[in-house]
């Protein structure tokens, strides 16, 4: 069973989660608890949905095996298969688990934002992730109060709330080091000005901070490090292998490199100097 061709329409993750998927006889096969997306396209394609039924283990269902009838998701039970997370293909991720209520970097606005909802475009039988919603309206939508809030705002303040969407092409997820290592992620981060990257890194907790920094190419990492607070500089370098740290410090200006090495524990600084190219180490 394949989804029929249809006009373009937008859906939100909050509208899909918890929905029942039924068979041709209307029997419930389970509720949608997550969706799987492939990052191989500029706007990720939904490949599977994850269902929780009467079985202990969730089941996965290919999106192409679903059709909509009267606003309900309908499929043939033979499409169902046991789902185990290791079966995710390279470049695939669970969207609710990875993005919802998680921090992302808005590479266009150079800010760290929290994801309240996800918007999909349904066209020609495919479902694409096109925006993340970082606004209060997205949060209200999830709890079923979007229309109530809109009516309240218009009635009492003569104001219509607006959605706050970020196009997926400007979104960098932070919840998984594996995502940060993808080439597309490195390209997005490298587009940011080093000063903006430094501000973002300083906002993050120590684990995300380290993951983002270590995903940068050497030149970008060096430029970003020069813009970062000295205490955070030390923290980032202390978490790195000596060989990797020396490569980055070699790309820094001599004065910045000298200041950083002076702030590091003596043993770490000496190990890095030993690893650096001799002429640069002598100049520093």
| CA angle (91 as vertex; 240, 133 as ends), nearest 5 | 90
Superfamily of domain 9-98: PRC-barrel domain (2.30.30.240)
Q: Is the pLDDT of residue 65 over 80?
A: yes
CATH 1.25.60.10 for domain 193-284: yes
- DSSP tag of 146: H
The tens digit of pLDDT for each residue in 144-185 reads 766 766 666 666 766 666 778 999 999 998 877 667 766 667
In the block, residue with structure tokens 């169902």: 80
For the chain, give every domain's residue range: 9-98, 193-284
Per-residue model confidence (pLDDT) at position 2: 42
Stated pTM of the model: 0.79
Q: Is the pLDDT of residue 50 over 50?
A: yes
| 143 or 254, greater pLDDT | 254
DSSP assignment of 58-103 equals -EEEEGGGEEEETTEEEE-GGG-EE--GGGPPTTEEEHHHHTTT-E
Q: What percent of the chain has pLDDT over 70?
A: 85
């Amino acid at each position: 069973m394949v989804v029929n061709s249809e006009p373009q329409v937008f859906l939100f993750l909050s509208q899909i989660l918890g929905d029942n998927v039924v068979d041709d006889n209307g029997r419930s096969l389970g509720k949608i608890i997550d969706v799987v997306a492939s990052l191989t396209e500029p706007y990720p394609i939904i490949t599977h949905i994850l269902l929780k039924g009467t079985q202990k283990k969730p089941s996965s269902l290919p999106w192409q095996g679903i059709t909509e009838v009267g606003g309900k998701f309908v499929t043939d039970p033979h499409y169902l298969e046991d789902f185990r997370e290791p079966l995710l293909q390279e470049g695939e991720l669970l969207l609710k688990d990875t993005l919802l209520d998680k921090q992302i970097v808005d590479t266009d606005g150079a800010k760290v934002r929290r994801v309240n909802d996800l918007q999909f475009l349904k066209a020609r039988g495919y479902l694409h992730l096109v925006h993340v919603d970082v606004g209060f309206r997205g949060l209200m939508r999830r709890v079923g109060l979007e229309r109530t809030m809109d009516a309240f705002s218009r009635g009492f303040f003569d104001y219509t709330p607006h959605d706050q969407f970020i196009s997926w092409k400007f979104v960098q997820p932070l919840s998984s080091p594996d995502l940060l290592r993808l080439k597309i992620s490195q390209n997005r981060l490298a587009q940011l000005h080093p000063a903006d990257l430094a501000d973002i890194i300083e906002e993050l907790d120590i684990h995300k901070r380290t993951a983002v920094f270590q995903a940068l190419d050497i030149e970008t990492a060096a430029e970003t490090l020069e813009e970062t607070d000295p205490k955070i500089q030390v923290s980032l370098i202390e978490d790195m292998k000596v060989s990797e740290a020396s490569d980055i410090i070699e790309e820094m200006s001599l004065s910045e490199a000298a200041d950083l090495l002076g702030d590091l524990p003596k043993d770490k600084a000496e190990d890095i100097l030993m690893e650096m190219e001799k002429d640069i180490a002598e100049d520093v």
